Chains A and B, each alone.
Chain A
Amino acid sequence: MSHPEQIVPHGHVLRYTLRERLTHWVAAGSYIYLMGTGLAFWSPWMFWIAVMLGGGQISRMLHPWAGLIFTAAVIYMFTMWSKQMRFEPVDHEWWKSLHFYITNQDDKMPPAGRYNAGQKLLFWSFFGGGLVLFLSGLVLWFTDWLPWSWRWLRYVAVLVHPIAALATIGNFMIHIYMGVFAERGAFGSVIRGDVSMAFAKRYHPGWYEEIVGSPDPPK
């Protein structure tokens, strides 16, 4: 059950296909715009972001369209990754060893597959958060279309939209921290698509064995 076709020159292994990387960057680009303009609408102290991005009117006009792009990217990610993101028994073990992960004792972690339990949770919370933001965002986009008798929907949306946004901002900060700072090699993998064999073996031993074939393959 090895997949040698995923091994690329210089001892690297393909982690993300071009399709996956493109989808990631469509989502990332739209999300960063949404977060910037959203923070501007969230607090007067951050309204300068909207000013830098062309002014409040333009930010208000484009924010919902960027939201549609982000929603589409997240749904496409769901179609690509939902099977790989299912929680498995090893993920339960992974959560129990979370303190080893946080303190960089990765050798004591149970063998994660292509995605570890934390990445799976990140995916699902971005997916759920994205859907909630999309639905509450529709209400805010067309807020003046709602009749007075439906005003409760506006009240729900102005609370739910920022709560979901804050949750995804938490996700986003951890995601950037892990991908850019904590796991050297992870950022390159979503640009070039490949990681070193050592990276695969260290952080995703289950996936590594899938590719090179385990030393004692189960017949």
Chain B
Amino acid sequence: MSQATLRVQKISGHAGSIAGEDTQRESQVCKLVDTTTCIGCKACEVACVEWNDMPFSPTVFDNSYQSMPETRWNYWNLILFNEHEREDGSLQWLMRKHQCMHCAEPGCLEACPSDGAIVQYSNGVVDFQQDHCIGCGYCITGCPFNIPKLNKVTKRVYKCSLCTDRVSEGLEPACIKSCPTGCLHFGTKDDMKDLAEQRAEQLKDHYGYENAGVYDPPGVGGTGVIYVLHDVTKPELYGGLPSNPSIPLAVKLWKHPLKWLGNLAIAGGLIGLFVHYLRFGPKAREDEDIRPAGGQP
């Protein structure tokens, strides 16, 4: 998985063929986040900021263990915290590592109008190319997870790159490396799915979490970040994780039927007007306007 052989298989705003499409068979990479063993230490947040060379952002204290309300353009990885009160009145602290999910069918890439500003590599990583970003913010609209964030100064959008610079050299992402409890794992999608399923079974059999399960939403074609949840039937409890995310309907309508109907209408209109001119011509010749029949100049 070195950079030299990492091909691009999807390109935003791109007309024509994609050079890297289907030229390379590559394992899909995946992060596994076991929320049941996360202690909310935020080592992954720090590691992310450190590795990606970003200045540390001021935190916002809101009487919880969360660093700030949501991710920022220079803060790609955030542990969301929820003090959940169960039906029996007992409390449960839910921690979820929130970052780009690296969807197999990325809404950001679908919405992006700029050629090559968002790419998906053949290993499944969705990466923003800021030098091609025009700052329109369409990716913000396309994302079902509230991930892309605009830098108001540079007018470019940023998000987790799945440490593609590390991954392409055979290293695990910085967040995975820093995790002290082993709740973060990294490997191929197949391996991570197996591991996650095993852990979910363990949670059911040994810890009484009847609804334990794996979050790998099919609405976006599966994700490059999967979660083990104590209760997979209520993902919303984990910092608003959508239960059935998909590319927003408005974006799908805009980019498919509306686009084709609109293009047909424009082309049809141009052809129609041209044919009308050939058939009927101008309403009157200029000389007729100047010298109407029988009139004086």
7 cross-chain pairs, A with B, having the tightest CB-CB distances, nearest first: A155-B250, A56-B134, A143-B137, A44-B15, A144-B150, A198-B292, A60-B134
Q: How far is the CA of A184 from the CA of B285 in the complex (A)?
A: 7
Q: How far is the CA of A47 from the CA of B149 in the complex (A)?
A: 23
Chain B: CB-nearest residue to A165: B262
Across the interface, do A151 and B141 meet the contact criterion of CB distance under 8 Å? yes
Binding site for B on A (CB under 8 A): 11, 40-45, 47, 50, 56-57, 59-61, 102-104, 106, 140, 143-144, 148, 151, 154-156, 158-159, 162-163, 166, 169-170, 173-174, 177, 181-185, 195-196, 198-199, 201-203
Given contacts A47-B15, A170-B265, whether A140 and B277 have CB atoms under 8 Å apart is no
Across the interface, do A158 and B269 meet the contact criterion of CB distance under 8 Å? no
Across the interface, do A106 and B283 meet the contact criterion of CB distance under 8 Å? yes
Across the interface, do B292 and A42 meet the contact criterion of CB distance under 8 Å? no
Interface presence of B284 (CB below 8 A): yes
Besides the contacts A44-B113, A158-B250, what 4 more A-B pairs have beta carbons closer than 8 Å? A42-B262, A151-B141, A159-B253, A162-B262
Q: How far is the CA of A40 from the CA of B113 in the complex (A)?
A: 8
Interface presence of B138 (CB below 8 A): yes
> Among the interface residues B248, B265, B277, B284, which one has the most CB atoms of the partner chain A within 10 A?
B284
Interface presence of B282 (CB below 8 A): yes
Q: How far is the CA of A64 from the CA of B297 in the complex (A)?
A: 48
Contact string against A for B residues 278-295, beta-carbon threshold 8 Å, 1 for contact and 0 otherwise: 001111111011111001
Residue of A61, A159, A170, A185 near B155 (CB, 8 A) is A61
Least CB distance from B249 to A in Å reads 8
Interface presence of B13 (CB below 8 A): yes
Across the interface, do A162 and B254 meet the contact criterion of CB distance under 8 Å? yes
Given contacts A151-B141, A177-B273, whether A47 and B115 have CB atoms under 8 Å apart is yes
Within B105-141, the residues touching A (CB, 8 Å) are 111, 113-115, 132, 134-138, 140-141
Interface presence of B146 (CB below 8 A): yes
Residue of A47, A60, A148, A170 near B13 (CB, 8 A) is A47
Chain A: CB-nearest residue to B132: A56
Across the interface, do B282 and A184 meet the contact criterion of CB distance under 8 Å? yes
Across the interface, do B280 and A104 meet the contact criterion of CB distance under 8 Å? yes
Least CB distance from B213 to A in Å reads 25
Least CB distance from A138 to B in Å reads 13
Across the interface, do B141 and A155 meet the contact criterion of CB distance under 8 Å? yes
Across the interface, do A47 and B137 meet the contact criterion of CB distance under 8 Å? no
Contact string against A for B residues 257-285, beta-carbon threshold 8 Å, 1 for contact and 0 otherwise: 01100110110011001001100111111
Interface presence of B251 (CB below 8 A): yes
On chain A, the residues within 8 Å of B286 by CB distance are 184-185
Chain A contact surface mostly: helix
Chain B: CB-nearest residue to A45: B15
Least CB distance from A55 to B in Å reads 8
Q: How far is the CA of A133 from the CA of B113 in the complex (A)?
A: 19
Given contacts A143-B141, A163-B258, A184-B285, whether A177 and B277 have CB atoms under 8 Å apart is yes
Chain A: CB-nearest residue to B295: A198
Across the interface, do B113 and A174 meet the contact criterion of CB distance under 8 Å? no
Chain A: CB-nearest residue to B15: A44
Chain B: CB-nearest residue to A181: B277
Least CB distance from A161 to B in Å reads 9
Given contacts A143-B141, A163-B258, whether A158 and B251 have CB atoms under 8 Å apart is yes
Across the interface, do A41 and B136 meet the contact criterion of CB distance under 8 Å? yes
Across the interface, do A43 and B70 meet the contact criterion of CB distance under 8 Å? no
On chain A, the residues within 8 Å of B254 by CB distance are 158-159, 162
Least CB distance from B102 to A in Å reads 20
Across the interface, do B270 and A140 meet the contact criterion of CB distance under 8 Å? no
Chain A: CB-nearest residue to B70: A148
7 contacts between A and B (CB under 8 A): A44-B13, A57-B135, A102-B276, A154-B140, A166-B265, A184-B289, A198-B290
Q: How far is the CA of A59 from the CA of B266 in the complex (A)?
A: 22
Across the interface, do A173 and B258 meet the contact criterion of CB distance under 8 Å? no
Residue of A156, A181, A182, A199 near B250 (CB, 8 A) is A156
Q: How far is the CA of A118 from the CA of B218 in the complex (A)?
A: 51
Q: How far is the CA of A198 from the CA of B138 in the complex (A)?
A: 52
On chain A, the residues within 8 Å of B132 by CB distance are 56
Q: How far is the CA of A50 from the CA of B113 in the complex (A)?
A: 11
Q: How far is the CA of A26 from the CA of B140 in the complex (A)?
A: 33
Residue of A106, A143, A159, A185 near B140 (CB, 8 A) is A143
Residue of A40, A177, A202 near B284 (CB, 8 A) is A202
